[in-house]
Structure 1
Amino acid sequence: MTIFDRITEVQEFLGKNREHAQSPEEKELFLLAIDALWFVWRNGQSYEFESYRKDVESKAPPRVIASFNTRDEAEAWLSAQPEPPDLACVLIADEYHVVLSSRDRSRRSLAPDSGLEYYIEEMTKNGLPPAVATFNTREEADAWFNGQSDPLAQTVIQIGGEHHLAVYYRNINRRAIFPFSIVERLHARRKRREQEGAGE
């Protein structure tokens, strides 16, 4: 079944259930979902939506729409966008950032994002997952990862005794490796907030 068939099937399902909605608010919610699918279809984003669904099903880390080596490159890209995305994530030097833009598109910025930190924290809440490959150096890990013709969306590996997450962003054909230790930044921010709250 193609993505177009699936979208049509879901729209029909939503339409039937909208008829039996108990309140005007529920009917509006069904209509919103139907319109969202029409938006995907009519804006030529059905294949992109299909790719997004594959990421969701593979339980991949938060999706990014672009990757840059430097903040200057990212700022130049954002300035050149006639219709900048809002609340989408990008990588800058393998750090997550979220794109923020005003409705009139006059203001746009890039802010650090903690989505991956929360993602890894959730992965490790019951202990460290097993690593599928072990390397002594980052160079060895990079060579292994780059040598894969069709990598998984994510793979837990170990480099020099530390767990890392090797992530393949299929939508932009980008590979990145993140140390699990980035979760410590999240813990440090929480601790600061607790200390600030206790000091009031």
Structure 2
Amino acid sequence: MDTGKLIFEALNLLGLIHEKTQSPEEKELLLTAADALSFINTTGQQYQFEDYRKDLKTEGPQMVVAAFATREEAETWLEKHSNPPHTASVLIGDDYHTVYYWRETNLRRIPASPALEFYLEELMRDGLPPPVATFNTREEARAWFYNLPERPSQAVIQLGGEPYLAAYHRNIDHLAFHPFSLVDKLKAWREKQQQEQDPEEPGPQS
């Protein structure tokens, strides 16, 4: 079933549920869901929505809407953007950041995000996945990946002697390389937070 028909039938279903719902709060939630689907149709984003749903069914870290080589590039993009996204993820040098935009004040921020570290940690829950290929440089890994008959959403590789996750963001045709060593930094951060919350009790006075 094509996306347009799915949206149409979903709107009908939401309408039927809305008629039978008594709670004003639940009615408002149903209307919000219907408005979101109508927004996709009226703004011509059916294909983008279809690609997003496909992406949800594949393995890989969180979707990003843009990728930049440097922070300066990202900040310039955000400053000049006529209608910036809000709470969307972007990559800066393959590191995750979140875009924040408050329309009322035109405040724009792009802080770092730990989303990737948590994702890599989950991948390592049962141990480090075995690499499917080994490379000395990113250029070699990129050439290999783009020459595959079908590009996967992610692949564990050995790069420069270290394990990496090669993540392909199909919506922007960008291949990112994420070192699994980021998980060690996450553990160190947790340990530091724990120490700050539970400082060691002082020893007895002599």
TM-score (norm 2): 0.89
Matches within 5 A, 1:1-200: 1-104=1-104, 106-148=106-148, 150-199=150-199
**1:8 offset after TM fit, Å?**
1.2
1:84 partner letter: P
Q: Give the greater-gyration-radius structure (CA).
A: 2
Structure 1: runs of 5 or more not aligned: none
Distance 1:10 1:145, change over 3 A: same
| CA-atom RMSD in angstroms | 1.8
Deviates more, 1:94-103 or 1:148-157: 148-157
Asked if the contact 1:11–1:37 (Cα under 8 Å) also holds between the matched residues in 2, the reply is: yes
Structure 2: runs of 5 or more not aligned: 201-206
Residues in 1 aligned to 2:131 and 2:13: alpha-carbon distance in whole angstroms: 42
Asked if the contact 2:142–2:175 (Cα under 8 Å) also holds between the matched residues in 1, the reply is: no
**1:133 offset after TM fit, Å?**
2.3
Asked if the contact 2:3–2:46 (Cα under 8 Å) also holds between the matched residues in 1, the reply is: yes
TM-score (norm 1): 0.91
Residues in 1 aligned to 2:160 and 2:111: alpha-carbon distance in whole angstroms: 31
Q: Percent identity?
A: 49
1:95-122 CA distance string (max 9 Å, x none): 1111111132521011001111111111
SS at match of 2:39: helix
Residues in 2 aligned to 1:28 and 1:164: alpha-carbon distance in whole angstroms: 45
Asked if the contact 2:153–2:167 (Cα under 8 Å) also holds between the matched residues in 1, the reply is: yes
SS at match of 2:110: strand
Asked if the contact 1:84–1:101 (Cα under 8 Å) also holds between the matched residues in 2, the reply is: yes
**1:175 offset after TM fit, Å?**
0.8
